Amino acid sequence: MQDISKEYDVLIVGAGPAGSNAAISYKKLNPGLRVGLIDKAIFPRDKSCGDAIGPGVISALKRFNNEHILDDEPQVVSTTLYGPDNIGIQNYIPEVKNKEDSIVYVIPRIDLDNRILNLAKNSDVDVIEGLNFVSFEEDVNKNIVVKFKNQDEEFLFSTRLLIGADGANSRVRKQLNLKPNSDWHKAIAIRAYVDSPNYIEIFKERTLMFEINVSAEKGYAWAFPSKGSLLNIGIGVPVSIFKKDKLNINKLLEDFINQLESRGVIVENIRKQKSYMLPFASSRPKLNKDMNVALIGDASSMINPMSGEGIFYGMEAGYLLAKNTNELIGSEKLSSGISKYEKEFSKRFRKHYLSCALARLILQSPFMTKRLLKVASNDQDTIDFVVELLFDEAYLTLTEVFKITYKFLIPTRLLAFISKN
Ligand SMILES: Cc1cc2nc3c(=O)[nH]c(=O)nc-3n(C[C@H](O)[C@H](O)[C@H](O)COP(=O)(O)OP(=O)(O)OC[C@H]3O[C@@H](n4cnc5c(N)ncnc54)[C@H](O)[C@@H]3O)c2cc1C
């Protein structure tokens, strides 16, 4: 039997935003804990993503005074939505209700994730890079023995709590015998970086551009401006449709680039094309209650099914898990702390996720997309609500459903008249 290399109170697999923020949270809430954070990659590492972070990530960073990692980043001021027949609408990001800042940044993940990981390193977390998670086993004392490997060797670590933050293809989740999301509840998306010397000039300001149901039917494409002339572009579709229509992800990206060029946007030096899965929160795994193993982030299918945003939910899950368990490490009540975390996360986001899943269904119809954009271009409340679904924790109440249905049904001119008066 191989020796245990290290013993931890909390061992986190995966040092993306979810894993790093969980590690930071445990050390801030309970500095005496021995926290390990292990990733198969050597940082800084790239991750396929739109790179957009909004009010949620800012408030998660502010919780432990870490927002300084966003200093000097340019702010995005608006969103621009396009639908079929070139119907478009540009809108300022409204004051969100649940957060202090209504700000969006676009920061390449190779930088953002490294900055968050550095915060963990500076919080006295034991970070190990370049080790691949292999498997885990519970011993007689309910400790978890975890096996990792690199090219040459295998390592065993023991921990009281194991956290799977190892992303959309989580091996920790697989070992818990929890199935991956079905094709209906996940999307495939491709990201590329390009240089665009005139993007901001064309749109008159730093705007997040979404194009719904155009380059990909039932999917959406994006162009998000980062520092200088750097533009993050990409396109995603639900996997069920991707397979049914035998789509080619690279071809979808080419079509979107043609669309951008037809709007006058110069696209140069297309590079770093990378596709990946997005497991939507419309189908979340249920954990085995007896084991001291928890999942956060993409490993636990936390991505907003409407926007594809996942960084905020993963970071918030890391904090909520730490909040509910940091004082129970080593006690028999640890698994009930994990259940409390699950309940708190679901209670906070269930209605929001459900509303976003419904919005996704509506936006899969080109007719409904056109109608929504027409309604939104005549009615500030509707566009504000759509933007809050994208950037805050908004959800549909019964009154909201009635209001939106009514606005969808009445003629656009009458709606414009009513809104003006
Ligand atoms: C194309 C695309 C665009 C997106 N755009 C946005 C966006 O604009 N804004 C947004 O908020 N979200 C976006 N998302 C979603 C977002 O990328 C994820 O929700 C987010 O990365 C989840 O963070 P995480 O920490 O859970 O997982 P990850 O960021 O995936 O991190 C998981 C980590 O685990 C490590 N790992 C995996 N397996 C192992 C193993 N066996 N052993 C050790 N380590 C392992 C990986 O190396 C990685 O570092 C997008 C996703 C895609 C695919």
Residue type, 101: D
Which of 222, 220, 216, 224 is closest to 196 using CA atoms?
224
- What one-character-per-residue DSSP string does 123-179 give? TT-EEEES-EEEEEEE-TTS-EEEEEE-SS-EEEEEEEEEEE---TT-HHHHHTTPP
- What is this structure's pTM? 0.95
The pLDDT assigned to 419 comes to 65
Pure H helices in 204-310 = 239-244, 249-262
CA–centroid distance, 268 to ligand 1, in Å, is: 26
The pLDDT assigned to 415 comes to 65
CA–centroid distance, 328 to ligand 1, in Å, is: 28
CA–centroid distance, 48 to ligand 1, in Å, is: 8
In a mutational test of the pocket of ligand 1, which residue from 311, 356, 389, 390 has the highest number of ligand atoms less than 8 Å from its CB? 311
User: Is the shortest distance between the CB of 318 and ligand 1 below 6 Å?
Assistant: no
In a mutational test of the pocket of ligand 1, which residue from 39, 111, 232 has the highest number of ligand atoms less than 8 Å from its CB? 39
Pairing status of strand 220-225 against strand 230-238: antiparallel
- The angle, 0 to 180 degrees and rounded to 10, between the axes of the packed helices 311-325 and 334-363 is 160
The number of the ligand 1 atom at minimal distance from the alpha carbon of 132 is 42
Give the closest residue (by CA) to ligand 1 atom 7. 50
How far is it, in rounded angstroms, from Cα 404 to Cα 360? 15
Match domain 4-45+109-180+282-356 to its CATH number in 3.40.50.800, 3.20.20.70, 3.50.50.60, 3.30.300.180. Answer: 3.50.50.60
User: Is the shortest distance between the CB of 281 and ligand 1 below 6 Å?
Assistant: no
Other beta carbons within 10 Å of 41: 16
User: Is the shortest distance between the CB of 40 and ligand 1 below 6 Å?
Assistant: yes
CA–centroid distance, 164 to ligand 1, in Å, is: 12
The pLDDT assigned to 218 comes to 86
How far is it, in rounded angstroms, from Cα 410 to Cα 401? 14
User: Is the shortest distance between the CB of 310 and ligand 1 below 6 Å?
Assistant: yes
CA–centroid distance, 77 to ligand 1, in Å, is: 25
CA–centroid distance, 16 to ligand 1, in Å, is: 6
Residues in Cβ contact with 50 at an 8 Å cutoff, skipping those fewer than 6 apart: 106, 191, 222, 224, 232, 234, 308
The pLDDT assigned to 282 comes to 96
Per-residue pLDDT tens digits of the chain, which is 421 residues long: 578 889 999 999 999 999 999 999 999 999 999 999 999 999 999 999 999 999 999 999 999 999 999 999 999 988 899 998 888 888 877 677 666 778 899 999 999 999 999 999 999 999 999 999 999 999 988 899 999 999 999 999 999 999 999 999 999 999 999 999 999 999 999 999 999 999 999 999 999 999 998 988 889 999 999 999 999 999 999 999 999 999 999 999 999 999 999 999 999 999 999 999 999 999 999 987 788 999 999 999 999 999 999 999 999 999 999 999 999 999 999 999 999 999 999 999 999 999 989 888 888 888 888 888 888 777 778 777 777 777 778 777 767 766 767 676 667 666 666 666 6
Q: Where are the domains of the chain?
A: 4-45+109-180+282-356, 365-420
